[in-house]
């Protein structure tokens, strides 16, 4: 592994830490809002990490061999921004002055893809550390793809995290940390800022557990570092702990670091006010006096200190050059692995990979969850970077890659365990699963998926939203999509969930009508490299005979004419998922009455909305106002497509514990009701 040359801590380093604290206070004071206290107290921690431990090259932020850094306490974004400025990632002093203002490179919380050096969007507490677990898992899986015999250290790197009390109070961090212990992720290093302060004051009003004992119980290596007598960070003890963490490879490490928030502000230190408010001009000035700086100056950044800090670029370039030299040797000796890596870095797919997708015959009904399971296994045969699992529902979600081996450490005694396995057992941890998938996607080379029942998508919504916000290719497989769950009853029958997920911007929500639509949808998800969620049926569905109906290729457009009428239709029947069969049946009933109906399958409204106006007009011509939507969930969102004359066949209440067939009939999901609703819509449209 490329080592960081730490050198000797100097007076210039001390000065750099002092100005880091002052810059945090000044930036918040200038804009009038923000979180100065944590950034001030963590300045020596972040500086030590960026200057002395993190393997990185600021001149090449996306260097493959770099360590990753996750600021889980994203509200303390200045902790990161100031080090990006000092290290030479491209942020300027003016960018710090523009903190939290419109259009700046220094928004309130770090945003992935917006600022160089920001590896992940953080702010929702707990999400950063949970996604860091995904990054650590991805690093190990990628090692298995490229160097399974462990002949090189090229693909060995660490995931460093700074987390707060708030992060560790969130349930998702507990879920992810527990799994990290099970996975023995020795490349995960967390620095826990134990300052015992939150917005409501002393965290002991709600958080009194022994965090160290909890993490030991998870299977983590725990190191405790006390503060100095005056409240400052014990930098020497911290560095010793970080050295120990760096050398620990058999388990994740958490360094429990005692700090005093807003140190060394004379009045604000240790107060909840300093957590989320500007200190005030007098307190900022007094703090600068404590730091040995000129209280009359703002945004102090002496050239000689900036030049000193940016020597990290030289060290980073030197480390990268050594890495690249070794990489060239490895590439020559391992041409197949090198070719695979080149393809993954370019986000390319093997030529003709889509030919592996199965085509389903219409002679047998197939649940879309079962079809998805077969598709997953065929994709896995041609894409070695494809892996995933379920939140303890693999047999129900059909998310198990056959002969893929369980992704577990070498120390695991579980059957079929492999450190490079393709089956991830997330356990019953939906929220962490979503965040871990995000971390895997952010790590960059592989394609992962995670499954649970649709009704439990509520548990992971925050992670799904972050995937959409970051525009990363996290893939969610949600099965048991409606009252079709049947006897399990209303607790397990999603009603509002599809509409709720469609409300998340930039998330493709896909509810295929049959097995072949499912196959095309998977192809699109793999090639689009975007966040997406599958909505799949528990119950068997008819596989449409594509000699009678339009090709499932229409899925790529989001919505398409599945079966048209002769001439201009009198009414358009729009359906998704298991309800498409009822629209097809209604078309036949209406035809017997001389009514011309067009059936439109709409598996993905988001993809349909991306199409040209001309295409959308061919599918849903404005002149045809009579429309019926059919979906076994709430009608919210459908009015936009069916208009004022349309009729929505929906479910505006919870289900019941009964057989699926009984419920569909009782709640109006029948071909007869669709046909009657079509006649009602025609009447409303004035035809």
Per residue in 280-322, pLDDT tens? 999 999 999 999 999 999 999 999 999 999 999 999 999 999 9
* Average pLDDT rounded to a whole number, residues 73-80: 98
How high is the pLDDT of residue 6? 85
DSSP 197: E
- For CA atoms 68, 69, 73, 77, give the dihedral sign: negative
Concatenating the DSSP letter of every residue in 590-606 gives HHHTT--EEEEE-S-HH
How high is the pLDDT of residue 3? 58
Asked if the model's pLDDT at residue 100 lies above 50, the reply is yes
Token digits of residue 12: 């210039």
Domains of the chain from N-terminus onward: 11-317 (3.40.50.970), 353-535 (3.40.50.970), 555-684 (3.40.50.920)
- 3-state secondary structure at position 385: coil
Percent of the chain with pLDDT over 90: 99
* Average pLDDT rounded to a whole number, residues 399-426: 97
- 3-state secondary structure at position 454: helix
Residue in this structure with the two tokens 């379920």, named with its chain if needed: 390
Contacting residues for 520 by C-beta, under 8 A, at least 6 apart = 357, 512, 552, 553, 555, 556
- 3-state secondary structure at position 406: strand
pLDDT digits (tens, 9 = 90+) for 626-640: 999 999 999 999 999
pLDDT digits (tens, 9 = 90+) for 329-347: 999 999 999 999 999 999 9
Asked if the model's pLDDT at residue 577 lies above 60, the reply is yes
Contact criterion met (CB below 8 Å) for 73 and 124: no
Asked if the model's pLDDT at residue 137 lies above 80, the reply is yes
Asked if the model's pLDDT at residue 518 lies above 60, the reply is yes
* Average pLDDT rounded to a whole number, residues 132-151: 98
Residues forming the active site: 430
Contacting residues for 279 by C-beta, under 8 A, at least 6 apart = 25, 28, 29, 36, 262, 265, 268, 287
How high is the pLDDT of residue 687? 64
Asked if the model's pLDDT at residue 511 lies above 50, the reply is yes
Q: Is the pTM of this model over 0.75?
A: yes
Asked if the model's pLDDT at residue 251 lies above 90, the reply is yes
State how far the alpha carbon of 58 is from the alpha carbons of 86, 87, 277, 318, 470, in Å: 10, 7, 31, 12, 22
Asked if the model's pLDDT at residue 213 lies above 50, the reply is yes
Mode of pairing for the β-strands spanning 188-194 and 197-198? unpaired
DSSP-assigned beta bridge partners for residue 599: 563, 573
Mode of pairing for the β-strands spanning 447-453 and 475-479? parallel
pLDDT digits (tens, 9 = 90+) for 655-679: 999 999 999 999 999 999 999 999 9
* Average pLDDT rounded to a whole number, residues 15-40: 98
pLDDT digits (tens, 9 = 90+) for 188-210: 999 999 999 999 999 999 999 99
Asked if the model's pLDDT at residue 452 lies above 50, the reply is yes
- 3-state secondary structure at position 270: coil
pLDDT digits (tens, 9 = 90+) for 582-614: 999 999 999 999 999 999 999 999 999 999 999
Contacting residues for 111 by C-beta, under 8 A, at least 6 apart = 118, 121
How high is the pLDDT of residue 31? 98
How high is the pLDDT of residue 1? 45
């Amino acid at each position: 592994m490329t080592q960081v040359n730490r050198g000797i801590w100097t007076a210039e380093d001390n000065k750099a830490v002092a100005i880091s604290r002052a810059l945090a206070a000044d930036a918040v004071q200038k804009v009038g809002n923000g979180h100065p206290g944590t950034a001030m107290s963590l300045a020596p921690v972040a500086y030590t990490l960026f200057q002395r431990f993190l393997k990185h090259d600021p001149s090449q932020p996306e260097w493959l061999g770099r360590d990753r850094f996750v600021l889980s306490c994203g509200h303390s974004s200045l902790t990161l921004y100031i080090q990006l400025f000092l290290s030479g990632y491209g942020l300027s002093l003016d960018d710090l002055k523009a903190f939290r203002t419109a259009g700046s490179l220094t928004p309130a919380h770090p945003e992935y893809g917006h600022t160089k050096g920001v590896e992940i969007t953080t702010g929702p507490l707990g999400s950063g550390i949970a996604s860091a677990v995904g990054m650590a898992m991805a690093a190990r899986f990628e090692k298995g793809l490229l160097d399974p015999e462990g002949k090189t250290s090229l693909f060995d790197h660490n995931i460093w995290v700074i987390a707060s009390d708030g992060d560790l109070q969130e349930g998702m961090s507990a879920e992810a940390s527990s799994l990290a212990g099970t996975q023995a992720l020795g490349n995960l290093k967390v620095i826990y800022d134990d300052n015992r302060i939150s917005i409501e004051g002393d965290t002991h009003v709600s958080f009194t557990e022994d965090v160290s004992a909890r993490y030991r119980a998870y299977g983590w290596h725990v190191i405790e570092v006390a503060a100095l007598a005056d409240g400052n960070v014990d930098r020497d003890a911290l560095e010793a702990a970080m050295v120990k963490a760096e050398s620990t490879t058999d388990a994740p490490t958490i360094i429990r670091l005692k700090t005093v928030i807003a140190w060394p502000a004379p009045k604000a230190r240790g107060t909840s006010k300093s957590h989320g408010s500007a200190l005030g001009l007098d307190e900022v000035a007094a703090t600068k006096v404590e730091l040995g700086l000129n209280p009359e100056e703002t945004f102090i950044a002496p050239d000689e200190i900036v030049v000193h800090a940016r020597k990290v670029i030289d060290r980073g370039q030197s480390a990268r050059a050594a890495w690249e030299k070794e990489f060239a040797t490895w590439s020559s000796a391992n041409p197949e692995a090198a070719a695979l890596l080149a393809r993954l870095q370019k986000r390319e797919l093997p030529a003709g990979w889509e030919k592996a997708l199965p085509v389903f015959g219409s002679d047998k009904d197939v649940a879309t969850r079962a079809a998805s399971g077969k598709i997953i296994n065929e994709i896995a045969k041609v894409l070695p970077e494809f892996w995933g699992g379920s939140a303890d529902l693999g047999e129900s979600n059909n998310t198990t890659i056959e002969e893929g081996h369980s992704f577990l450490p070498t120390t695991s005694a579980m059957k079929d365990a492999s450190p490079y396995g393709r089956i991830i057992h997330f356990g019953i941890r939906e929220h962490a699963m979503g965040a871990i998938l995000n971390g895997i996607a952010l790590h960059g080379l592989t394609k992962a998926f995670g499954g649970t029942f649709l009704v439990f998508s509520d548990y992971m919504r925050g992670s799904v939203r972050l995937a959409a916000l970051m525009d990363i290719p996290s893939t969610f497989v949600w099965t048991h999509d409606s009252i079709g769950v049947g006897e399990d009853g209303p607790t397990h029958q999603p009603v509002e969930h599809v509409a709720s997920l469609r409300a998340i911007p930039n998330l493709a929500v896909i509810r295929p009508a049959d097995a072949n639509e499912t196959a095309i949808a998977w192809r699109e998800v793999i090639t689009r490299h975007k966040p997406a969620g599958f909505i799949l049926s528990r119950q068997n569905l008819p596989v449409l005979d594509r000699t009678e109906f339009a090709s499932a290729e229409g899925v790529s457009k989001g919505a398409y004419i599945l079966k048209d009428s002769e001439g201009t239709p009198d009414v358009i029947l729009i359906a998704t998922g298991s309800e498409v069969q009822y629209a097809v049946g209604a078309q036949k009933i209406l035809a017997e009455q001389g009514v011309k109906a067009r059936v439109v399958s709409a598996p993905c409204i988001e993809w349909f909305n991306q199409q040209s106006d001309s295409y959308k007009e061919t599918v849903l011509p404005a002149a045809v106002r009579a429309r019926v939507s059919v979906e076994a969930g709430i009608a919210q969102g459908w009015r936009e497509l069916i208009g004022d004359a349309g009729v929505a066949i929906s479910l505006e209440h919870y289900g019941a514990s009964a057989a699926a067939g009984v419920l569909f009939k009782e709640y109006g999901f029948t071909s007869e009701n669709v046909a009657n609703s079509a006649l009602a819509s025609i009447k409303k449209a004035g035809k």
